[in-house]
Amino acid sequence: MSNFLMLPILLPMFIGTLLIFFAKKHKLQRVIAGTAAIAQLGVAIYLGYIVYVDASQIITLEVGDWSAPFGIVLVADMLATMMVLLSSIVGVVCLFFAFKTIHSEREKFYFYPFYFFLLTGVNGAFLTGDLFNLFVFFEVMLIASYVLIVHGGTGYQLRESFKYVVMNMVASAFFLVGLALLYATTGTLNMADLAERVQVMGQEGILNVIAIVFLFVFGAKGALFPLYFWLPKSYYGPPAAISALFGGLLTKVGIYAIIRMFTLIFIHNTGFTHTIILALAGATMFFGVLGAVSQFDFKRILSYHIISQVGYMVMGLGIYTQLALAGAIYYIAHHIIVKSALFLFAGATEKITGTTDLKKMGGLLKTHPWVGWLFFISAMSLAGIPPLSGFFSKFALILSAIQEQSYVIVTVALVVGILTLFSMMKIFMYAFWGEPTIPVEKVNRKEMFSLLRPIIPLVALTVCLGFFAEPVFQYSLGVADQILDPANYVNAVLGSK
Amino acid sequence: MEILIVVLIGILFSVATYLILTKSLFRVVLGTVLISHGAHLLILTMGGLGVGSAPLLGEEASSYTDPLPQALILTAIVISFGMTALLLVMTYRTYKVHQTDDLDKLRGRSDE
């Protein structure tokens, strides 16, 4: 019982509302937004800490004192607090990058309020313990994301975002369909209560159908094969700070929801559901990386990589052992950090060269060595070169797949790893090698460092996640342990009765 | 009663699917409106229809209407209303910028 649990949701909501009133004063807006984002990071760290030291490692809050299966509950277990922490880190970093790169016209038109509303929705989706509430927070997040993705209103953005919005609205309608069917079958929408009732009823017939409806819904939001087609083009449109926030966070909310649903509620027919998930994971990885290999644009390659890496996370869930889930959780942490960093690098090179087309760049290593080498570290981390963080998470996933003797997925994962390395090297060769397109004398070192300042913490974090893999992996194993046993969750939410 | 509503939901969903698959921007918007109406009606139907009594009054009430689905669709209607408003504005802007509402012409070039 802790009211503190509300703070990661209330703080950004309050700040977002406050910022509406100062829309035209962008200095003041920046001060408020920056302070609030750092405060939020502090809150997230503290929340993660108190959940970690708590005896059961799950803290619940019954909103308005309505007891658990009837009212709305907020639940912070280790997975949720880890995700809140990651979203806050990305939130701070992208915000500070936005200060440097967002056009002041965009700033005046309510960029910061919607930024914070997005974080409200994301944190809410992580912390809620009620399915309908999850829907509401998804919509809060999505409506803010619709606004941010068309923000600026260029022709390209309008055209591609329309498809993004329609896709998500259809998925949301099916979310409601799933909720309706689930409510009719079980009579509850509280996740802990659902876990209990599905166990009693046995997961057969209609409950399998509902599981697949939810897989479709969250798969569409998390860009699983074959529902990923909207992602690469729509993420290309907005400025890099927004792309980085979306690339880091938005699809991961869908993946988080899949992991939550399929480790807590729909776990009694794993032969059916988790096999489908594993097959989808393989196809997602493979087709995503093929898209990345075919592209010649910095941001587009990164957008396609989101798809292929979502596959790795879902692969951990599909294998469904402790090691695999720990690998998936480690991968989520690694991915959110590295992917945001890479998108910010795309933004930095765009700011420097004025384009994201790789064929028009070149020689940045000579003119901007720091950008080049820091990008190299993040790219190697993404491709999974030891001792960086990408390696350990992929290693755990592949090891567990070998233990479970699913050799097809092992092959796919390894091939995808090589193709990832290939496409990251393509970016490095085209953008950073060769003859400089900008004369060396014209380089403004001060500007370069001001662009890099927000990115450096992310690169440092991915290096730390790699070098301190042991404690991080212990933590992931702890999270995996906790979500593999739904009784923990159910007791924490319903046990107090 | 339930059967009738379920058939209606089916009609709504099929019309919505047809509209979403058409080429005109505005029809796609109408399609998303109809699909969310279908989903809302589904929630209401799944809670049970036509009991004709008040929402739960005391623990000994012999018959009652489940108030939860109505609370749920109220929230869902408000959300879909907001989304539709936003989408209509986006449609209008897209039409103004691109001078067309034909989705075929809004596909973009392959080299982009």
pLDDT at A38 over 90: yes
* Count of CB atoms situated within 10 Å of the CB of A348: 25
Residue B109 confidence (pLDDT):
64
For residue B110, what pLDDT is reported? 54
Selecting from A135, A143, A181 the residue whose C-beta is nearest the C-beta of B82 gives: A143
Average pLDDT over residues A121-138: 93
Interface probe for A, chosen from B19, B70, B95, B106 (most Cβ of A below 10 Å), is B106
For chain A, the farthest-separated pair of C-alpha atoms sits apart, in whole angstroms, at: 72
Average pLDDT over residues B65-78: 88
- Closest chain A residue to the Cα of B84, Cα to Cα: A169
What pLDDT was estimated at residue A230? 87
In A13-109, beta strands by DSSP E: 59-62, 73-76
Measure CB to CB from residue B94 to each of A136, A139, A162 and give the nearest one: A162
In terms of Cβ atoms closer than 10 Å to its own Cβ (0-12, 13-18, 19+), residue A381 is buried
Is residue A284 scored above 60 in pLDDT? yes
How far apart are alpha carbons A262 and A273 in whole angstroms? 8
In this complex, do B98 and A158 lie within 8 Å of one another by their Cβ atoms? yes
Whether the Cβ atoms of residue A459 and residue A378 lie closer than 8 Å to each other: yes
| Torsion angle (degrees, nearest 10) of CA A450, A37, A306, A80 | 150
Please identify which residue in the block is written with the tokens 């796919």: A412
User: ipTM of this model?
Assistant: 0.93
Mean pLDDT, residues B41-54 taken together: 80
Using DSSP's 3-state secondary structure scheme, residue B47 falls into: coil
Cβ neighbours of B89 (radius 10 Å): 11
User: How confident is the prediction for chain A on average, in pLDDT?
Assistant: 89
- Cβ neighbors of A457 (< 8 A, separation 6 or more) are A89, A93
Q: Which of A156, A161, A181 sits opposite B90 (nearest CB)?
A: A161
Distances in whole angstroms, Cα of residue A20 to Cα of each of A10, A212, B78: 16, 40, 22
Check pLDDT > 90 for residue B58. no
The CB density around residue B29, as the number of other CB atoms within 10 Å, is 22
Interface of A with B in 167-186 (CB under 8 A): 169-170, 172-174, 176-177, 179-181, 183-184
Chain B residue nearest residue A176, CA to CA = B39
Q: How many residues does chain A have?
A: 497
On the question of pLDDT at A1 being above 60, the answer is no
Segment A302-337, tens digit of pLDDT = 999 999 999 999 999 999 999 999 999 999 999 999
Chain position carrying tokens 């699913």: A406
pTM: 0.93
Whether the ω angle into residue A369 lies within 30 degrees of 0, i.e. cis, is: no
> What's the pLDDT at A479?
92
Q: What is the pLDDT of residues A385-402, one digit of tens each?
A: 888 888 999 999 999 999
Count Cβ–Cβ pairs < 8 Å, chain A vs chain B. 95
Q: Which residues contact A2 (CB under 8 A, 6 or more apart)?
A: A50, A59, A61
Six-digit token pair at A134?
A: 């999850």
Average the pLDDT over each of A104-108, A344-348, A379-383, B55-59 and give the range with the smallest value: B55-59
Average pLDDT (B46-75) is 79
pLDDT at residue B103 in the model: 83
